[in-house]
Amino acid sequence: MCGLSHQERQTQETVGGSSIINAFARYIEEHEPPPPDPLLDEAREVIARCQEAMGMANAAKAARLGKCDTQMSMRITLAALRRGIELGRQEH
């Protein structure tokens, strides 16, 4: 436990050994939606803007609501965003 203060170590040991806290954490994990993925949100927005530019307001709304997340266009958009991030990191 290098780098942790006495209070941080004590808290970590207490929390780590608490069956009530562990059970509560498991409950939350099983019943709460996963945290939002900012890249997925961005991909939804990219697709929605393209659809709006084509006059497809209902499709844009569906994209923003996540109703198109399993479509090929979403997979392509996510792949392009990830590649763009990768390329951006290589330049620096």
* The predicted structure's pLDDT at residue 13: 58
With a CB cutoff of 8 Å and minimum separation 6, the contacts of 51 are 57, 59, 60, 63
DSSP per position, 29-60: HHHSPPPP-HHHHHHHHHHHHHHHHTT-HHHH
* The predicted structure's pLDDT at residue 70: 92
∠42-46-51 over CA atoms, to 5°? 145
- For 66, other C-beta atoms within 10 Å of its C-beta total 13
Digit-coded pLDDT (tens) for 34-92: 777 899 999 999 999 999 999 999 999 999 999 999 999 999 999 999 999 999 999 76
Global confidence as pTM: 0.61
* The predicted structure's pLDDT at residue 86: 94
